[in-house]
Amino acid sequence: MAIVFDEERQVFSLHTENTTYQMKVDGYHYLLHLYYGKKTAASMDYMITYFDRGFSGNPYDAGADRTYSLDVLPQEFPVLGTGDYRNVACKVREENGCYGCDLRYRRHEIREGKYSIPGLPSAHSSKGQTLEIVLGDERLGLEVTLLYGVMEDCDMIARSVRVENCGKEKVYLEKISSACLDFIYGQYDMLTFYGRHAMERNFQRTRVSHGRQSVGSIRGSSSHQYNPFVILARPDATERQGECYGFSFVYSGNFSGEVEMDQFDQTRFVMGISQEQFSYPLEEGESFHAPEVLLSYSAEGLGRLSNQFHRCVRDHVCRGKYKNQVRPVLVNSWEACYFDFDGDAIVRLAEQAADLGIELVVLDDGWFGRRNDDNTSLGDWQVNEEKLGCSLGELSRRIHDQGVDFGIWIEPEMVSEDSDLYREHPDWAMQIPCKEPVRARNQLVLDFANPVVVQHIFEKISAVLRQGEINYVKWDMNRNLADVFSANVEEQGKVLYDYMLGVYRLLDQLTGEFPDILWEGCAGGGGRFDMGMLYYTPQIWCSDNTDAIDRIRIQYGTSFGYPLSAIGSHVSAVPNHQTGRVTDIATRGVTAMTGAFGYELDLGKLGEDEREKIKQQIASYHRLAPLIQQGDYYRISNPYEEEYGAWMVVDQDKSNALLSVVLLNIHGNMPVIYVRLDGLDEEREYRDADTGKVYSGAALMEAGMPIPLGLGDYQAFQILFEVVE
């Protein structure tokens, strides 16, 4: 059994293939956290200690026992109002302004299958198990259900929370975190992934010290600036060894991940919805569902932890037709022609694509309304047939006649002030009454907290998608939320959460109505690269920055929590449109092949040599794509600290491995670079598929292999190793 309850000791044990998570109902009916780590059959309740701690208060039930304090004890779901002065997971405000919630264990249920959450994305597993633990506050009439989903195959535990007001008086959720993890001792590092537009998910590792450290977003999206994926690792943890814990928030809106070392050197990590502009009212009988957090533990380093999350995304988060399929090689029209195109230009792009072996042409921004720049027509989802010179259906047919598939770009959540939709329904845009709006990219945000707005956009975009054979849709979001107000909502503390419910509702409707379309998420590139979007879109455009060298660092950070199959990555023109850097097309190909592969350039400007190299790249991608998308991924170097970027992918039976290396700097009379491989079978031998040379798996991993040096910037190498039978 994955979930076991020891009734005598009142201990819950959640077991995956390699890990155990334990908690206990104590004598006062508080739910205490006991253990999360390597798999064990032992009960860890002996780890709880009790001492009289000055200025740490005691529950009234404890009477004269001053050794019992929730300010010190490790808890599963700490709340404000119990004498715990550390960072808590929940704050409940009564209508009179008081904060005094006190949650005690009431009952529990164990059932087969992984739970789901109404209106929200969550991991799915028919073979998993669910534990529901109900906590209650008798005075408030509040019931809080803690949900635990156990997915044994990928060593993953999911956590969520449901809050129901069973009382007579309205209450407000001022903070609701989906997961809390207490460590009663030990030193930890916090690994986070910060960034900005066009330079997302940079790697950062900092020591957890006394006080609170946090990352998060108040932008209305998970953001370019901080990713909702955090790792706590022992200071000695490396790629290959050491203890580490990963936390991934299955949500695309505002979030907070907070770690605190307390006065007694205990560490608490809390993850959930940001408190900023959040105050959710619950009337009698109403419920609130918190988004999910996925937790995983590895005793064998960061590489193992990443692969556990990768398997979880591929098998338990992504859904639909394309979750395990090799994705088509595409070319996007954006960097080829921006807004300057007509239907004939897109058909020419399709002809050129077909000749190279490219399988999909994507018509990016500019095909609708009067959209010839980014200042108008968002919200007017009618095809501009005058600009195209034909209907969308006719354009789709002409492109398919070239032997390639056809896709389009949309930005459903936005509206331009210069649009028919805004002129007809100005109240459908998020704007604070009597205040001039904050513009970004000269556009406003539609009020997706209003179901009427969501339904209107669904009908308009659905009508477009029915006009022809559309095989792919890129869903973009090109600004953050600023003027958070909904004319449709009385309590404005609900708006940001209800907005995300609206986004998910539209995604669910569209992906359900058009299941044969490949959907790709995007938010100015990687501004919403999270598990919530991957539930609906099996791949996400990793970054608007397509520079191969910057992408090595961006994709390095992304790889800690997300699989290569989810990373949209393209070869673009040089000089690069974001950095001006010039790299060889071979280097661009090696970097872009670390993901869902494609091109972002004007095919008509290619020389014959580049055309031949692209044909070779596409042939290579088709041969290697199953390995790249389904294999275990290993970071071989840290491109923030070393002169080269190196990574590899190994299939499940360790019979094939792909090593990729890009030199980031070149110097005179350089020393030889030796790359130590990972993930191979040390008892087997491997052959270089190009040279025929044979190597010992143990030697490649322990001693490494030399990388050839030559002249020129940013040289790249890709070596396929095949096991010698």
- Calculate the CA dihedral of residues 446, 448, 452, 453 and round it to 10 degrees: 30
The Cα 563–Cα 543 span in angstroms is: 15
- Report which residue type is found at 642: E
Residue pair 161/290 in contact by the 8 Å Cβ criterion: yes
Nearest to 594 by CA among 636, 561, 566: 566
The Cα 601–Cα 577 span in angstroms is: 10
Q: Which two tokens stand for residue 424?
A: 């007809």
DSSP assignment letter at 340: -
Number of helices (H), then strands (E), in the chain: 13, 38
Catalytic pick among 610, 643, 685, 713: 610
> What is the layout of strands, in order, in the sheet containing 716-723?
632-635, 644-650, 656-663, 716-723, 685-688, 694-696
The Cα 656–Cα 633 span in angstroms is: 12
Catalytic pick among 411, 530, 547, 550: 530
Please, which contacts does 423-426 make with residues 24 or more away whose CB atoms are closer than 8 Å? 425/453
SS3 label, residue 513:
helix
**Residue 685 annotated in active site:** no
- Calculate the CA dihedral of residues 522, 523, 525, 529 and round it to 10 degrees: -70
Residue with tokens 């370019």: 224
- Determine which helix (DSSP H) or strand (DSSP E) holds 392, and give its type and residue range: helix 392-401
Nearest to 150 by CA among 36, 304, 14: 14
Residue pair 611/587 in contact by the 8 Å Cβ criterion: no
Residue pair 358/350 in contact by the 8 Å Cβ criterion: no
HEC assignment per residue over 434-490: CCCCCCECCEEEECCCCHHHHHHHHHHHHHHHCCCCCCEEEECCCCCCCCCCCCCCC
Residue pair 70/26 in contact by the 8 Å Cβ criterion: no
The Cα 561–Cα 522 span in angstroms is: 17
Alpha helices (runs of H) in 284-364, residue ranges in sequence order: 301-312, 334-337, 343-356
| CB neighbours of residue 235 within 10 Å | 12
How far is residue 622 from each of residues 112, 356, 517, 570, measured CA to CA in Å? 39, 13, 20, 15
Residue pair 12/116 in contact by the 8 Å Cβ criterion: no
Instruction: List Cβ neighbours of 651 (8 Å cut-off, separation of 6 or more).
Output: 627, 630, 631, 632, 657
Residue pair 15/2 in contact by the 8 Å Cβ criterion: yes
**Residue 610 annotated in active site:** yes
- Report which residue type is found at 644: Y
Q: Which two tokens stand for residue 404?
A: 């390639």
- Report which residue type is found at 283: E
Residue pair 564/633 in contact by the 8 Å Cβ criterion: yes
The Cα 60–Cα 627 span in angstroms is: 60
Q: Which residues are part of the catalytic machinery?
A: 530, 610
